[in-house]
């Protein structure tokens, strides 16, 4: 195996230009596989020549097969021995092949080299396959951008762009950097960051993000972040770091490998002498059995039991918008006993949406919404934004009112066709008139914990609009799945008791804590963990929930790709989808089961092969096939996690 899974090397950068293996010619990208197949071809030719009494030529071909097939493994093993003072499975395999040659078993040694080289090539392929999602992410970032220099345009590499420069983004192009629109209007597909399939309308002053797809408009964008510091690149780096960080299980296997290999070498040295004196074996048989033991007792399959499964699970989660900063957090998720959920922005959308519209008899509702939306579009209040968005989503065109005045703390006034319109709080339009409208419909809406906006024309209230921070539909399904997995969901919010109770009932949560300050949330998490240290997760927005995120066994941030979210949580839900978190918990549990299967299978195969060798019923070729075959099966079993189930 050319690159032992226990020696995963860190990826050094997060730019498209550094995914070098994608741009290599075929013979370079597949060099290991070509070398393995080449050694196999030489092995066949050497065996055929040995059958026609061409021993000298066949030995030469066997030797060439050794050099071609074993070069990478031998070099890797020697470098680890002399630089790191570490004996690894690479060196064990090369020593076994050389030992076979020394006792005249050229063909069997060449078979060992061939299958071992082939196994290494396939293992490298497996590791590259597990990195597929990060590679796919990186290809979404354009390498070039169109720089605006006065009246001239020039193509430059994205890494050359500096903050404050302006770039041109044409229709249908991906945004090359994070920036702010200074000219133009369009719709942008941000599904790679938010998971929302509906394109978002963007205009002057709005932010745009790397990798998102521009729609029909031409934009001039002011660069706000350098290419290596964009939200997109932070997401890429997050996945890379997670793939490179080792979990406690991986670290244990690495320590185990070092000790185990030394023990195997010591036993092999004893096997080269003791059986000859104890059992009367011939020297040839004694050395042959020692070499077979060297092969079959190698811990390749044990070492490969964890890494492919871990990498596959991380890649699968990344594809679904769940980014883990370390494989350690997968192990925590697999043993999760409770999950604490913040309300605003986690269970709910985090922003008000229009839920009800009531107008007076005889009023055309479309004309009503057109007028209200036209007035509210000049206001920066969150409720005004929500109303304007609601009207636009209905396809209703807006106009510019004759006169608009913001009345701080109350609402907004406008002059339209000689009539004064007021939109705002109850006191702004008259308390008695507001509550009398439509037989007191406002009372009913307020009891439903909705915010009511009143609309008056002249002296009469002509309509009310109710808004509410609505529950995410996927949150209900996620809570049900957490329960099914045996994980207790708990609502922790700073909102009132009545609101918390209503939200908890709506999503199916039994236990909740209301009116919590940040320190209260931390206290509740410590109580849930208890003296026995239960595994408790906290899901929040990454800002005001930071203390609670830190206090939990694992902190999970609802991020939509935001910088703060990426910095705060151990796990980031890029697409704000709790349902995908439930999927990742299931994936983590599957990963644990697969790792246990791999370890039990690997150890069983080693024991079986060692016993067969001790009873002199196992030949070197079959030992190689059994050993390397078990390694390949373990790798392929781990790669099954790339195709995790769930929605």
What digits encode the pLDDT tens for the residues 508-530? 999 999 888 778 888 898 899 98
The mean pLDDT value for 497-506 works out to 87
**How far is the C-alpha of 535 from the C-alpha of 306, rounded, in Å?**
22
Give counts: helices (H), strands (E), the chain. Answer: 26, 22
Query: Of 200, 301, 302, nearest to 632 (Cα)?
Result: 301
The mean pLDDT value for 80-99 works out to 74
- Residue 567's pLDDT is 66
What does the pLDDT look like over 546-578, one tens digit per residue?
778 888 889 898 875 455 556 667 888 877 889
- Check if the beta carbon of residue 133 is closer than 8 Å to that of residue 315: yes
DSSP assignment of 488-540: EEEEE-SS-HHHHHHHHHHHT-SEEE-S--HHHHHHHHHHHHTTTT--EEEEE
Residue 574 to residues 156, 240, 328, 542, Cα–Cα distance (Å)? 29, 16, 19, 12
Please return the burial class of 105, using the count of CB atoms within 10 Å of its CB with bins 0-12, 13-18 and 19+: buried
Q: Please check the confidence at residue 639 and state whether its pLDDT lies above 90.
A: no
**How far is the C-alpha of 72 from the C-alpha of 89, rounded, in Å?**
13
- Compute how many other C-beta atoms are within 10 angstroms of the C-beta atom of residue 152: 7
**How far is the C-alpha of 263 from the C-alpha of 145, rounded, in Å?**
57
- Residue 364's pLDDT is 92
Lowest-confidence range among 21-25, 182-186, 548-552? Answer: 21-25
Query: Of 13, 29, 33, nearest to 21 (Cα)?
Result: 29
Please return the burial class of 403, using the count of CB atoms within 10 Å of its CB with bins 0-12, 13-18 and 19+: exposed
- Residue 642's pLDDT is 79
What does the pLDDT look like over 47-85, one tens digit per residue?
888 777 777 788 888 888 888 887 777 777 778 777 777
Confidence of residue 357 (pLDDT cuts 50, 70, 90): very high
**How far is the C-alpha of 525 from the C-alpha of 337, rounded, in Å?**
12
Helix ranges (DSSP H) in 86-139: 89-102, 106-130, 132-138
Q: Under DSSP, is residue 2 helix (H, G, I), strand (E, B) or coil?
A: coil
Q: Please check the confidence at residue 580 and state whether its pLDDT lies above 70.
A: yes
The beta-strand segments (E) located in 409-471 are 411-416, 419-424, 451-457, 460-468
Helix ranges (DSSP H) in 131-247: 132-138, 191-194, 231-244
Of the residues 178, 229, 241, 342, only one is catalytic, namely: 342
* Higher-pLDDT residue of 364, 32: 364
- Compute how many other C-beta atoms are within 10 angstroms of the C-beta atom of residue 419: 10
**How far is the C-alpha of 529 from the C-alpha of 553, rounded, in Å?**
8
Report the Cα–Cα distance between both ends of the chain, in Å, rounded.
Answer: 36
Query: Of 616, 632, 518, 603, nearest to 121 (Cα)?
Result: 632
Residue 433 CA, chain-centre distance (Å), reads 54
Helix ranges (DSSP H) in 248-282: 248-271, 274-278
Residue 54 to residues 44, 62, 362, Cα–Cα distance (Å)? 13, 12, 105
Residue 149 backbone dihedrals phi, psi, to 5 degrees: -125, 90
**How far is the C-alpha of 581 from the C-alpha of 573, rounded, in Å?**
7
- Residue 265's pLDDT is 83
**How far is the C-alpha of 595 from the C-alpha of 607, rounded, in Å?**
18
Residues belonging to the chain: 647
**How far is the C-alpha of 68 from the C-alpha of 71, rounded, in Å?**
6
Q: What is the DSSP letter of 471?
A: B
The beta-strand segments (E) located in 272-397 are 322-324, 338-341, 353-359
Mean pLDDT of the chain, nearest integer: 80
The first and second tokens of residue 229, run together, are 């510091």
The question of whether 342 is a catalytic residue gets the answer yes
Lowest-confidence range among 137-141, 341-345, 619-623? Answer: 137-141
Q: Under DSSP, is residue 550 helix (H, G, I), strand (E, B) or coil?
A: helix
Confidence of residue 489 (pLDDT cuts 50, 70, 90): very high
In the chain, pLDDT over 90 holds for what percent of residues?
Answer: 22
What does the pLDDT look like over 195-231, one tens digit per residue?
455 577 788 888 888 888 898 889 999 998 887 776 6
Residue 640 to residues 50, 239, 312, 364, 594, Cα–Cα distance (Å)? 42, 19, 8, 58, 9
Query: Of 420, 429, 414, nearest to 374 (Cα)?
Result: 414
- Residue 17's pLDDT is 36
Q: Please check the confidence at residue 153 and state whether its pLDDT lies above 70.
A: yes
Residue 82 to residues 6, 85, 88, 173, Cα–Cα distance (Å)? 18, 5, 12, 51
Residue 180 to residues 141, 169, 236, 509, 579, Cα–Cα distance (Å)? 17, 12, 22, 40, 31
- Residue 83's pLDDT is 78
**How far is the C-alpha of 338 from the C-alpha of 351, rounded, in Å?**
27
């Amino acid at each position: 195996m050319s690159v032992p899974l226990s020696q995963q090397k860190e990826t050094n950068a997060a730019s498209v230009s550094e995914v070098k293996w994608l741009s290599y010619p075929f013979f370079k990208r597949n060099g290991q596989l070509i070398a393995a197949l080449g050694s196999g071809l030489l092995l066949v030719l050497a065996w055929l020549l040995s059958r026609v009494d061409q021993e000298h030529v066949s030995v030469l071909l066997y030797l060439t097969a050794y050099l071609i097939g074993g070069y990478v493994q031998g070099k890797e093993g020697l470098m680890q021995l002399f630089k790191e003072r570490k004996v690894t499975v690479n060196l064990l395999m090369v020593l076994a092949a050389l030992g076979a040659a020394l006792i005249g078993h050229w063909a069997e040694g060449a078979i060992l080299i061939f299958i071992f080289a082939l196994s290494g090539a396939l293992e490298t392929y497996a590791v590259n396959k597990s990195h597929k999602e990060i590679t796919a992410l990186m290809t979404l970032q354009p390498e070039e951008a169109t720089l605006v220099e006065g009246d001239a345009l020039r193509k430059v590499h994205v890494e050359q762009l500096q903050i404050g420069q302006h770039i041109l983004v044409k229709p249908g192009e991906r945004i090359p950097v994070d920036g702010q629109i200074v000219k133009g209007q369009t719709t942008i597909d941000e599904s790679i960051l938010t998971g929302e399939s509906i394109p978002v309308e963007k205009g002057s002053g709005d932010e745009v993000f790397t990798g998102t797809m521009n729609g029909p408009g031409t934009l001039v964008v002011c660069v706000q972040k350098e290419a290596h510091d964009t939200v997109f690149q932070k997401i890429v780096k997050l996945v890379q770091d997670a793939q490179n960080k080792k979990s406690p299980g991986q670290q244990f296997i690495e320590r185990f490998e070092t000790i185990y290999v030394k023990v195997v070498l010591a036993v092999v040295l004893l096997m080269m002498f003791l059986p000859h004196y104890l059992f009367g074996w011939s020297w040839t048989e004694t050395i042959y059995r020692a070499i077979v033991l060297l092969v079959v007792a190698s811990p390749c399959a044990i070492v490969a039991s964890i890494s492919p499964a871990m990498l596959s699970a991380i890649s699968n989660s990344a594809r679904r918008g769940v980014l883990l900063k370390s494989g350690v957090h997968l192990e925590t998720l697999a043993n999760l006993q409770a999950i604490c959920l913040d309300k605003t922005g986690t269970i709910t959308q985090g922003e008000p949406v229009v839920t009800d519209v009531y107008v007076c008899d005889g009023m055309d509702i479309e004309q009503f919404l057109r007028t209200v939306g036209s007035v509210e579009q000049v206001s920066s209040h969150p409720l005004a934004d929500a109303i304007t968005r609601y009207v636009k989503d209905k396809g209703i065109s807006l106009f510019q009112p004759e006169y608009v005045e913001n009345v701080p703390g109350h609402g907004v006034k406008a002059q339209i066709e000689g009539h004064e319109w007021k939109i705002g709080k109850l006191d702004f339009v008259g308390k008695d008139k507001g509550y009398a409208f439509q037989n007191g419909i406002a009372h009913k809406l307020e009891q439903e914990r909705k915010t009511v906006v009143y609309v008056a024309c002249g002296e009469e209230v002509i309509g009310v609009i109710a808004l509410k921070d609505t529950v995410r539909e996927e949150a209900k399904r996620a809570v049900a799945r957490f329960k099914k997995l045996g994980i207790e969901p708990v609502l922790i919010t700073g909102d009132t008791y009545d609101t918390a109770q209503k939200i908890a009932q709506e999503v199916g949560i039994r236990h909740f804590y209301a009116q919590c300050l940040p320190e209260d949330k931390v206290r509740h998490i410590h109580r849930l963990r208890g003296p026995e240290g239960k595994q408790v997760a906290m899901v929040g927005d990454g800002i005001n929930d930071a203390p609670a995120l830190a206090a939990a066994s694992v902190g999970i941030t609802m991020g939509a790709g935001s910088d703060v979210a990426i910095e705060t949580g151990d796990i980031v839900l890029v697409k704000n989808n709790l349902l995908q978190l439930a999927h990742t918990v299931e994936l983590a549990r599957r990963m644990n089961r697969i790792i246990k299967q791999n370890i039990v299978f690997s150890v069983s195969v080693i024991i079986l092969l060692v016993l067969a060798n001790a009873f002199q019923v196992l030949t070197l070729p079959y030992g190689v096939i059994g050993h390397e075959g078990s390694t390949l099966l373990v790798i392929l079993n781990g790669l099954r996690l790339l195709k995790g189930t769930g929605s």
